[in-house]
Amino acid sequence: MKAITYSRYGPPDVLELEEIEPPVPGEDEVLIHVRAAEATKADCELRSFRFSVKWFWLPLRLAVGVTRPRRRILGDYFSGVVTAVGRRVTRLAVGDEVFGSAGFRRGAYGEYLTVPEKYPVVTKPSNMSFEDAAAVPLGGLNAIHFMRLAGIQPGERVLINGAGGSIGAHAVQIAKAFGAEVTAVDSSIKERMLRRIGADRFIDYTKEHFAARGETYDVVFDMVAGSSYGQCISSLKPRGRYLKGNPRLSDMLRSAWTTRFTDKTVRVAFARETQEALDALKQLIEEGRIVSIVDRAYPMNRAAEAHRRVETEQRAGAIVLAIGEEAAVS
């Protein structure tokens, strides 16, 4: 099979298109013919081994390979078709069109992928192409996790910082589906897209800091590494909730204090990815309440270009790799 691989940490050009042996599913696993995979910021961070949050550099390096990557195929989030199932698999069947997450196993940048049946992989929404569906699990699973933690009530004011990213753009749509009034914060090239998917108000972070307006919110959801903890807390109404997806160690310590000694709640939890959450997203998609936002799709032989576009952030939406395609895609 063809796979985009990397054998050393470095710039996008370390990605190579290679012919390798396809994986064989174990008794509890399914074999998936991958049709599309999202090229994510986390993929780029793993490829280059540069992270905006520094504290997990050492534990992560020990986990993924000290001198070179132990797993040579990136890609956590994908869509595809089940082509074989292990003897003990009952939930999925050959021919199912699925989308989901391969988690820490990664491997979705290859034409075939094996995942345990218990992983968050479910049949894909009937009203979505493979490319659109591959752009949902990362943003959708993280966003639904945090938006549920926020306990949003209809009519509440929600601010999403980093709203134009994969996670933020899903959070905008889920918060709207929960009945919130949403303020989206990002750079101006994302404004049109964010208004199209439901943002009621938009603040361009390159021109002003949202906290400087003196407005307060029931929920602040913040996916921006290095943003000011104090400014986010001061933007909360009484009993407001602050959710931080990219916490520094100091944020984690301060969150415990804020939650214990003030009327505000801070959650810094990492998202759990579950089949139930993915099914909930699928339902929201089939009801027309969430759309997938794909900025551009690239064929496999232009993976380095795809990573460059993710890294330069001149995009409005997800970057997708059309797996199996070597000819030009849009």
Binding region for ligand NAP (CB under 6 A)? 40-42, 52, 142, 161-162, 164-168, 185-187, 190, 205, 223-225, 245-246, 270-271, 313
User: Measured at the alpha carbon of residue 128, what is the angle toward residues 125 and 133, in degrees to the nearest 5?
Assistant: 80
| Cβ within 8 Å of residue 256, ≥6 positions away | none
Handedness of CA 45, 317, 150, 145 (dihedral sign): negative
Nearer to ligand NAP, 31 or 144 (CB): 144
DSSP 131: H
**Residue 40 beta carbon to ligand NAP: minimum distance, rounded to whole angstroms:** 6
Q: For ligand NAP, which residue has the nearest CB?
A: 165
Cβ atoms of residues 6 and 95 within 8 Å: no
Copy the structure tokens of residue 73. Answer: 């195929």
The residue assigned the tokens 């913040």 is 222
**Residue 173 beta carbon to ligand NAP: minimum distance, rounded to whole angstroms:** 13
**Residue 158 beta carbon to ligand NAP: minimum distance, rounded to whole angstroms:** 15
Rg (CA), the chain: 20
Nearer to ligand NAP, 42 or 64 (CB): 42
Nearer to ligand NAP, 40 or 235 (CB): 40
**Residue 310 beta carbon to ligand NAP: minimum distance, rounded to whole angstroms:** 7
**Residue 87 beta carbon to ligand NAP: minimum distance, rounded to whole angstroms:** 34
Alpha carbon dihedral 188, 315, 120, 117, in 10-degree steps, equals: 180
